[in-house]
Amino acid sequence: MKVVREALRNVVSRGWQTVLLSAVLTGVLLVPQIWTVTDLNQALATENRLQSAGGYVFALSSDGGIEPDECLLLRTSSGVSASGVLSNRQEIVNLQASPATSYRLWSYQGDVPSLVFESFESPVRAQTEVLINGATADELAIEDGHSLYTTAAVLRVQVERSAVRVSELGRALLSPTPWLGVGSAAVPADCYVEAEPEHYALLINASGSLLSSVDDPVFVREIITRDAFTESPWRAVQGRSSRRSSEVAAGLVVGVAVILLRLRYAEIGLYRILGLGRAGSTLVQWIELVSMLTLGLIFSASTTAMFVWDPHLDTSGTILRLGLMAGATTHLLAAGATLAIFLLMPRGSTLSLLKDR
Amino acid sequence: MRVTCKEAHFQYPASSAPVFERLNLDICAGETVALVGPSGSGKTTLLSVLGGLLSVTGGSVTASRNGRPIPLATSCGWITQTTNALGSRTALDNAALGAYFAGAGNTWLNARSDAIVALRRLGLGSRLHSRSNTLSGGELQRVSIARALVSQKPIILADEPTGQLDQETTDRVMREIAESLSEASRILVVATHDEEVAAKCSRVLRVSMGMVSDIGPLR
């Protein structure tokens, strides 16, 4: 019982260390994210390599989230605009915006989209009513003075021209024109728009709104590389940290692991000379291992839950999520160091455990 | 209380020469023994053999109380050369561990009370609640001494216990150790390079070239 109490006292006393380390890790991971979110123009100016390598996907957000079947309208200083709507139906409606508005209905069978209806009324006249499949739905304001009635009918994926694609639950991507695109998602989420490099500045400065709530402005929350976007949401978040940040974090983790190993080694020696013997000192480490593992798994589960709950968080949510990730890393690291000790311990005599290393 | 070496021999597996051989030694309760000799002569090895951390490769090393054998490994309190402490715990916690694990009846509260007294006597009254990883080498060494003293183990083995202390603190620490040991007739074996420390011991053993020679008290 004394051994158990002692182990728990150790876990508690290490609390401030894990909190401190988690905070440092969070900071290291957070710096590039803040930089990305707050300085888009600088990112565009400096990340030429990324631009030429594959372009960016712009994540558009609104404070209230973008609901399924929502229509997003973007306007730029040059007058270019585009809008579209996505829904969960097995159809795709692609609406191209000014100056020559057209609309197309795609049916999506399995992975193969097929064009079932196309209109080239150019431009769409004001209050023109278009019925698709006999059903009307949301109103889409394409340009001042123009409106269009159509079924809000698309699903999670759209295909148009050579631009593809997407995606996964909670994300969608549209690039119906060379300049701008619009999308929405199957769940309240960000909308992702892919743009060609020459239109980056236009898109950043575009004003966006939701058709259902013009007072709820849409803003460019962040930009991510196309490669990162095509990864899973989890990997995309990880990918947002710069390589340097990841290297620093990895170095930090390795350094801490080495220190933990060294400290644990000496601690076992100390417990042995205190009279706990091999079994007692092993039990102390086991209890700590289980405690750290449990805490690490709780942090991991919380991180995952946050992702499932809302894959795309605002800044405070991102900080919280990174904090949870760092907490999970720190505790699992401590558990790993203890586990490593179990593998190494049979080789160490008490005398060697006590030596400085 | 008595520690006895009979024809004791020790040699590391990878070494071609023994650290010591044919060692016959008796250390009785209340004795303070200094192990002196050049670096690498085997002082720490002999200390480890006496404390049961290393097993002799020949002969025997035993401990007995009132004629009955007692296990060496659990009868020794250690003051280590390196400043071993649980870094995330306070000086008080670290010192209290000695008393806490010394006997089944010792509660954490009692252990802490003993540790407070010992730490204050060693000049660490103001550092009781400081985390070990914020203490200096000398302070950690005194924590280690306090931990050994409150353990009430009949044999105290000290490896360079004053290596990181100034002369004034060394005198104070040695005085406290001597008082603590004499109260309970405990045995102290100390490996040291410090002649002042050796001079305070009742007996000095010189370890050199595989031989251990008893040269009596220095003063």
pLDDT (tens digit, 9 = 90+) per residue, A114-137? 554 454 443 333 333 333 333 333
Determine contact, residues A193/A58, Cβ cutoff 8 Å: yes
Contact call for B100 and A6, based on CB within 8 A: yes
What is the mean pLDDT of the segment spanning A317-341?
78
Q: pLDDT tens digits for B128-158?
A: 999 888 888 888 888 989 998 888 888 888 8
Task: Give chain B positions within 8 Å (CB) of A14.
Answer: 88
pLDDT, residue A73, reads 56
What is the mean pLDDT of the segment spanning B34-63?
87
Q: pLDDT tens digits for A176-208?
A: 332 233 333 333 445 566 555 655 666 666 666
| Mean pLDDT for chain A overall | 57
Helix, strand, coil proportions of chain A in percent (round to 5)?
50, 20, 30
pLDDT, residue B209, reads 78
Amino acid at A205: N
DSSP state of A310: -
Q: pLDDT tens digits for B120-131?
A: 988 888 989 998
Indicate whether B70 pLDDT > 50: yes
* Nearest Cβ partner for A274 among B48, B87, B97: B97
The burial class, CB within 10 Å (0-12 / 13-18 / 19+), for A139 is middle
pLDDT, residue B117, reads 92
Tell me the CA distances in angstroms from A124 to A39, A144, A352, one per residue in order: 38, 11, 84
What is the mean pLDDT of the segment spanning A37-66?
50
Contact call for A270 and B100, based on CB within 8 A: no
pLDDT, residue A146, reads 32
Task: Give chain A positions within 8 Å (CB) of B73.
Answer: 275, 277
| Residue A111 CB contacts under 8 Å (≥ 6 apart), including other chains | none
This prediction has a pTM of: 0.59
* Nearest Cβ partner for B84 among A10, A16, A354: A354
ipTM of the complex as predicted? 0.84
User: For the ranges A29-33, A252-256, A278-282, B55-59, which has the lowest average pLDDT?
Assistant: A29-33
What is the mean pLDDT of the segment spanning A279-286?
81
Phi/psi of residue B168, nearest 5 degrees:
-65, -45
Q: pLDDT tens digits for A74-104?
A: 555 544 333 443 333 333 344 433 333 344 4
What is the mean pLDDT of the segment spanning A258-275?
78
The larger pLDDT score, comparing residue A277 to residue A239, is at A277
What is the mean pLDDT of the segment spanning A324-344?
78
* Nearest Cβ partner for B48 among A263, A276, A351: A351
Determine contact, residues A292/A284, Cβ cutoff 8 Å: no
Tokens of A116: 């079932």
The burial class, CB within 10 Å (0-12 / 13-18 / 19+), for A77 is exposed
Residue of B nearest to A356 (CA): B82
B20 touches chain A (CB under 8 A): no
